[in-house]
Copies of this chain bind each other. A is one copy, B any other.
Amino acid sequence: MRVVVPFDAREPKTRLGPVLDAAERDALARCMLRDVLVAVDALDAAVEVVATAPVDVGAGLAPHLDDPDPGRSLRSVPVTVDERPLSAVVDAAVDATVGDAGESLAVVMADLALATPAALARLVDAAGDVVVAPGRGAGTNALVVRSPAFRADFHGASYLDHRAAADAAGLTLRTVDSRRLSTDVDEPADLVEAYVDGGEATAAWLTDRFEVAVDEAAGRVSLARR
């Protein structure tokens, strides 16, 4: 199996603007990428980052961790720079992997801070021509493609679009029921999940800066600056 992790290296996580400045958004995005790559590393797969600009996936991803070798096996993850829209990147990967090489392709978003090897194993072990891990707001957070007939559509409500695309092509589509894979970190409200159950680099970065704040009246839990 081949696993592609798309990463926006230029202006990542703009919707976190209300709570994080640009440098912080960049740092958090790299922590999440690091945690996703660590989780993906447990799969028996050829992993590749496809980024919109060059990115150092070695020690540079999580310099705040007290780890003598934070890069570990990540050093060996190749990075391809590709500025095309995500759907075009994924379609090209489907053609090269599923069509030409007859392999399965998995696509795992770089902001799945809660991803674990167990959750990803459920994704790649699920049957179906197409397997989707739906995200909040009818998005597609992770995807397995086993048929070259599938075309990606990451605009808008991509979970619905991918269901329709699979239907139109006569393909079976299964979903994986995972909170960890359904939680992408896009908006300030999403940070609580990453703080509580995120991977090592993300949780440490957030814990250094934030704490849990409970608004009893509104029934809401969020993060507040320490």
Chain A residues near B (Cβ < 8 Å): 15, 116, 118-119, 122, 133-134, 136-139, 155-157, 159-160, 177-183, 186, 189, 192-193, 196-197, 212, 214, 216, 218-222
How many copies, total?
2
Closest to A157 in B: B221
Q: Is the CB of A192 within 8 A of B119?
A: no
| CB <8 Å contact, B189 and A155 | no
CB of A216 within 8 A of CB of B155, answer yes
Complex CA–CA separation, A222 to B178 (angstroms): 21
The answer to whether B138 touches A212 (Cβ under 8 A) is yes
A15 to B157, CA, bound (A): 24
Complex Cα gap A128–B118 (Å): 18
**In the complex, what distance in Å separates the CA atom of A46 from the CA atom of B37?**
44
Knowing A137-B189, A138-B212, A221-B139, say if A196 contacts B119 (CB, 8 Å). no
